[in-house]
Structure formats: structure tokens, C-alpha cells
Structure 1
Amino acid sequence: MEKNDKIYIAGHRGMVGSAIHRKLKKEGFSNFILKTSQELDLRNQDAVAGFFAEEKPKYVFLAAAKVGGIVANNTYRADFLYENLAIQNNVIHQSFLNNVEKLMFLGSSCIYPKLAPQPLREDYLLTGPLEETNEPYAIAKIAGIKMCDAYRAQYGCNFISVMPTNLYGYNDNYHPENSHVLPALIRRFHEAKVSGSNKVTIWGSGFPLREFLFADDLADACFFLMEHYNDAHLINIGTGSDISIKDLAILIKKIVGFKGELVFDTSKPDGTPRKLMDVSKLRDLGWQHNIDLAKGITLAYEDFKKKYL
């Protein structure tokens, strides 16, 4: 990418899109096309067609999506499937029609089968049933991967797919019911600390293992791959290490400064028992994450306090 190339970041106000925007600005890029969902509804085929015809971006980062945690995914199943399919179908197809030089599609680790061997290798895609609670979102993302590969195979488009692990960081979603586990715990511990509560309830058993990547590390990997990766098939982005939800809760409790006890509500779903990415493909290309979990949670907590208090 040249410094003056026109770059469209779909979803630039979200946690991932804003991190990519920050990274590109830091690297000296300045010719961005940025539209809020109010300015451009990516679910609207005609609106997206008009936008691409007028703006003609050279590079596209497709980070826009309808996202949420286990409860949101399981509750709004039709919305998650329809809206994510619509967004990616419109952006990917218009990128082809308007001769975008390169597109990056951002997926999710939930594309892999629920009981796939660990760590999750890229070739485990479509080898078994998905986790039921977030199946609609996963199916949409799998369709996006296959769409990028299909446009590459049929038309020669340089469309690549990257699969981040669980993300957290600046501009995260801290909604009390619809957020992911790490930001949900930051909020819950903070509110318990402020209210003087003597306990915090954690959903599930605490036994599932999860991998977490700071969003600015993801953005660094996305920039690296936009420069160096031009192959068909997806590539994982992660840290290569995981932590139990219980140990995560203990770490967040310490960083937030909550002094009470932890209670695990086993009536709530655990989700997938383990989700650890195999990142050997990415490491072989020469990229590795920089921000460890304790530092990342500290940065995220400071951001939470600035924005939500």
C-alpha cells in the first residue's frame, strides 16, 4: 500500500476498525474513507453500490459486523445471520465490481467446530458441528471466507480472510448483557467495587479456556498481512496461549481492585470448552503479538473508566 492510496475501513468506529485506523495513521496513511452506519447502511445493497461507484477505494478492510456475546448471539439468531451476510455480501461484491486492489475480511474464531482438536488450525474449518449458541454468526463468517476464496478463484481478486481470536481493547462494548466475557467482567468488577458489593457472579463454571488478543495487536497483524499475505484460505491471528475464565476473572479482579469473592453461576452456558488458535502460519510469516494480557486489561480498564464513568 502507498501512503496516499484510498483506504476504506468498514466499521471504523468499532473496536477493531478503530484500532486498524489508528495503526494506519501511525504508519503515515491519511487517505481514508470513513462512513458511520448512519451515513452508509452496509445492509443496503443500493447504498453500498452507490458508495463504491463514487468513492472507488483501492484497499478495503471489512471490519463491520453485528457482534455480541453468547446471550446476544443466541437471542438474535436471525438478525446475526441476515445482517452479517448482507454486510459482507454487499462489500465483497462491490469491491469486485469496482476493482478494489485488495480486501481483507475479518472473521472470528467461532467459525471452527465446537469440539475441534486444539489448538485450532486453519484446515479444521468445516470438519464438524459448530457451537450452537453462536452458529448463525459463525455461518455468516464462514460464508464470507468462502466468498473471498470464490472471488479469488473465479475472478482473480486479491481478497484475503483473517480469523482473530477473542479480542478486547479500546472502544470495546461493555453492555451488561450483550458484551463478550472480558469487557463484561471488567464492568461487573468495577460496578461491584464502586457499590461496595462483597461478591461478583461469573457466568458458567469458570473452566472453559479462552485466548485473548489486544485489538491494537490485531491491527498490527492486519497491517502486516495486508503487506505480506496474498494467498487463498484463511489465516489465524492470536497469541497462541489461553487462560481459564476463572483465572481471567481473578486477574481482572486484581487489576480493578475488587476485594470480594467470586461466585460461579453454573446455570449459565459455558460455550465452547476451549478455543485456542494455532498461529504457526502467522508466526512463520514473521509476526508475533506484543501486549500481554495483564498489560492489555490494564489499558482496557483505563479506557473503560474514561468512557463510561
Structure 2
Amino acid sequence: WYAIAKIAGVKACEAIRKQFGKDYVSLMPTNLYGPFDNFDLETSHVLPAMIRKFHEAKNNNHADVKLWGSGTPMREFLHVDDLAKAVVFSVKNTLPENLYNVGTGRDVTIKQLAEIIQKAVGHQGEIVWDSSKPDGTPRKLMDSGKLNALGWKDSIALSDGIKATYSWFLNNQENFKEVKL
């Protein structure tokens, strides 16, 4: 249903643009992360789940962190503040088309992501890959060239964004469910 809802929103925006001559656009972001993310290990996406796992392992003195798959799939991540800047950019500028991808144009392996998060959290243990669990799609990378050509570009490096997100996580832990590792 999620994909159908996204398509319906894009098509509605396109119809309003065409019928009423409004400068409405649809922005399609890549994988987002940042403050106010969902850090619940049962329902969160990969990046906030890893932050939570490494944090819990560090606090409970666990020597290793077990992660799903092989670590080889590649994903692109965009900080929510960069998405907010893309939204402002799209409002301040008349964009010639209806639909724009919003991403960094750079991807990392899940293994690289885990290492960046492990360093940001300060966990000193080992990362154990559970290859009995699925990897998912080998690569997900958006082409944000249309929006970049008009002057928008992301500005938050992944490692910096993860550090800031972990800082937010530390300051807001009381809002999270208790986890048993």
C-alpha cells in the first residue's frame, strides 16, 4: 500500500499542476535518517536499528553485535535536514518538472554503515554477520541529477549526520521502549 500511496500522491500533484497551472512538485526522497527517527528494534529501518543495537551492546558490555545478512548490499542515506533544505529549495524556485528524486548520489555497503555507526557510538566489539538472514536488494541508489542540475545539493556527510543523530538519540532515550538483548 505504501508504494500505491506514493504513486497516487505523485499523480495527484501532476494533475493539479497540469489542470490548474500550479507549480506543485513531488519530491521522492531516498532512505532518510536523523532526529525523531524510529529506533524501535522491531519496527525501525536499518540505520536507526543499528544505532540502537550498538548503543545497547556498548551499555551492556557485549563483545559483539549481530547484524543480519552479509553486509554487502548497498544503500543511500539522506539526513532529514538535507531533505528539509530540498523542500525549501523546491518552494523558493520554480521547478520545470513534476517529480524529483532527492538523495546524495552516494551509497555505502551495509558493512560500511555498521562501521560508521559503531565508531560514532564508541562500541569496541566485533560485528558478527548472520548470513542465514536475508540481505535484501543488492543495491538501491537514486539519481538526483535533475534536482542537482537546478542547484540543490545535500550538505551533511553521512558520518556527521550519524554522529548528530546518535547525540539526539542519547538526549531522548527516555522516550524509547526497554530492550532485552
Q: Fold conserved (TM > 0.5)?
A: yes
- The 1:276–1:294 alpha-carbon spacing in structure 2 relative to 1, beyond 3 Å, is same
1:196 to 39, 57, 61: 61
Q: What SS does the aligned partner of 2:50 have? A: helix
User: Would you say 1:304 and 2:173 are equivalent positions?
Assistant: no
Asked whether the equivalents of residues 24 and 98 of structure 2 are also in contact (C-alpha less than 8 Å), the reply is no
Percent of aligned positions that are identical:
55
Aligned-residue offset at 1:171: 1.0
User: Would you say 1:139 and 2:28 are equivalent positions?
Assistant: no
Aligned-residue offset at 1:188: 0.3
Residue in 2 that maps onto 1:170? 35
Distance 2:25 2:127 in 1: 42
**Structure 1 residues 225-276: Cα deviation after superposition (integer angstroms, max 9, x where no partner):** 1111444431011111110001100111111111111111233332221111
Asked whether the equivalents of residues 186 and 256 of structure 1 are also in contact (C-alpha less than 8 Å), the reply is yes
Asked whether the equivalents of residues 239 and 288 of structure 1 are also in contact (C-alpha less than 8 Å), the reply is yes
Aligned-residue offset at 1:295: 0.7
2:132 to 255, 267, 276: 267
Q: What SS does the aligned partner of 1:175 have? A: coil
Asked whether the equivalents of residues 76 and 103 of structure 2 are also in contact (C-alpha less than 8 Å), the reply is yes
What is the correspondence of 1:1-309 to structure 2 with a 5 Å cutoff?
Answer: 81=1, 137-309=2-174
Residue in 1 that maps onto 2:177? none
Aligned-residue offset at 1:156: 3.2
| Matched AA of 1:207 | T
Q: What SS does the aligned partner of 1:159 have? A: coil
**Structure 1 residues 203-230: Cα deviation after superposition (integer angstroms, max 9, x where no partner):** 2221110111111111011101111144
Asked whether the equivalents of residues 149 and 232 of structure 1 are also in contact (C-alpha less than 8 Å), the reply is no
Over the residues paired in the alignment, what is the CA RMSD in angstroms? 1.4
Deviates more, 1:288-297 or 1:226-235: 226-235
Q: Which runs of 5+ in 2 are unaligned?
A: 175-181
Q: Which runs of 5+ in 1 are unaligned?
A: 1-80, 82-136
Question: How many positions carry a matched residue from both structures?
Answer: 174
Aligned-residue offset at 1:140: 1.8
Q: What SS does the aligned partner of 2:11 have? A: helix
**1 or 2 for the larger relative contact order (CA 8 Å, sep ≥6)?**
2
- The 1:151–1:183 alpha-carbon spacing in structure 2 relative to 1, beyond 3 Å, is same
Q: What TM-score results when the alignment is normalised by the length of structure 1?
A: 0.54
| Matched AA of 2:137 | T
Distance 1:213 1:147 in 2: 25
Q: What SS does the aligned partner of 2:172 have? A: helix
